Every structure is written in structure tokens, then in C-alpha cells.
Amino acid sequence: METPEGHRKLIKHDDAPGEAHALTISCHGRRQLLREDARCCLHAESIDRAMDRHGYRLLAYVFMPEHVHLIVWPEPAASGVSRLLYAIKKPFSYRVKQMMIAAADPALAELTIRERPGDRCFRFGQEGPGYDRNIRNTDTLWRVIDCIHRNPARRGLVDEPAGWKWSSWWAYSETEGRSGPLRPKVRVWR
């Protein structure tokens, strides 16, 4: 969609009931800001709270260094996808900013940007609602789950999906009972 210079592109969210949604939340400027476990833990907590408050179930996830993939399922009374994304991003951004201030993190200056003359803001996540798409059938759902689980291995971050700590891969693995990397506290509904 062409937009006049200076105007934001509008993203339409298709909040069809009974369909899963694939969501992607990116870090500002695609910086690798999710390499620290503490930040990922904060993000996981924000996701869990937003899922509960807005009527969604988390089906699958993977946290990459510069973005997060979520596959979510709306309950019958779920709020819209844009409200869910806002409920994830806003509290997380506030909490991670406080963490960065306390640690005197030099990246804080890079993430405090000029929005307009005289107005500066902290921007951990990419501006806007993020990317989403509906998943309309079960075969596609399983392909998308498999794809996001394989993302860390495709990028060369690990040899196999089982080696990536910040993923719901273990929730779907036949080897779930085996010892693996410490799994984060993100609730996956299956």
C-alpha cells in the first residue's frame, strides 16, 4: 500500500474467530536485544499476562535475538490482535527500560530516539503493531509451528531446534521427558 511521505502505513489485522494467528514482534532497528535471558524472561512474563487478560492461548513461540514469533489462538471473547500486541509490547518496554536504567546499560541511549522536535521516547520494539497473519487450516498451522521451531537452527544459532532454550519446541517434542536446556516459564497450550 502506497502512503504519502510522512504518513504511517496502516496494518489491518484480520481477527477472524476460530483461526490461529502467527505474530512477529521485532526489536527496534532489528537490533539483537533479546540475547540476554533476563530480557527474555521479562518478555515471557509480559506475553503470559497479555494472553490471560486478552483471551488468547499461546500455541507456540520462539524468541530470536532480534524478534519473537508467537502462534496464538483466540478464545471466543478475545480482544483484537492489535490490543493483544499492545498489551505485550507496552508493559515489556517499560520494564526493560527500568532494567536498563538500573544497569546503566549503554544501549539505553541508542534506544531513546527523537520522535519529533523536542519529543524523545524509548523504543525497544519496532514501532507499530508488528506482523500478523491468520492460519486458516491445521496443516498450515503445523507447518508454521515447525518453521518457527527450526528458525534458530536455520540461522546457525544451534545445530538442532532442541538446542534453543527460548522455544516451545520441547512442548511438542516426543523426547519431552529427556533432559534438555532449561526451559523458560512461558505457558504453552496444547
28 inside domain: yes
On the question of pLDDT at 37 being above 70, the answer is yes
The region of weakest confidence among 50-59, 99-108, 163-172, 174-183 is: 174-183
Element (H, E) at 157: none
Q: How confident is the model at residue 6 (pLDDT cuts 50, 70, 90)?
A: very low
59 found inside a domain: yes
Q: What is residue 74's predicted lDDT score, i.e. its pLDDT?
A: 92
pTM: 0.80
Phi-psi category of residue 120: left, alpha or beta, with phi > 0 → left and psi -120 to 50 → alpha: beta
The sign of the dihedral angle between the CA atoms of 57, 63, 158, 177 is: negative
- CATH code for position 35: 3.30.70.1290
Backbone φ and ψ for 137, nearest 5 degrees, come out as: -145, 165
Domain presence at residue 8: no
In a domain, 61, yes or no: yes
pLDDT greater than 90 at residue 3: no
Question: Is 136 a domain residue?
Answer: yes
The answer to whether residue 179 scores a pLDDT higher than 60 is no
What is the gyration radius of the CA atoms in the chain, in angstroms? 17
Q: Which structural domain, as residue segments, surrounds residue 81? A: 20-172
To which residue does cell 524523545 refer?
120
**Closest Cα to residue 72, out of 84, 90, 89?**
84
The tens digit of pLDDT for each residue in 44-57 reads: 999 999 999 999 99
Instruction: Say yes or no to pLDDT of 132 above 80.
Output: no
pLDDT value for 175: 58
Percentage, residues of the chain above pLDDT 70: 79
Instruction: Tell me, yes or no, whether 2 lies in a domain.
Output: no
Is 121 part of a structural domain of the chain?
Answer: yes
Q: Does 177 map to a domain?
A: no
As for how many domains the chain has, the answer is 1
Closest listed residue to residue 70, CA positions, set 183, 151, 161: 151
Mean pLDDT lowest among 61-75, 111-125, 154-168, 174-188: 174-188
**CA 149/CA 170 separation, integer angstroms:** 10
Region 13-20: mean pLDDT is 70
For 53-105, the pLDDT digits (tens) are 999 999 999 999 999 999 999 998 888 888 999 999 989 989 988 998 899 98
Given this model, what pLDDT does residue 178 score? 44
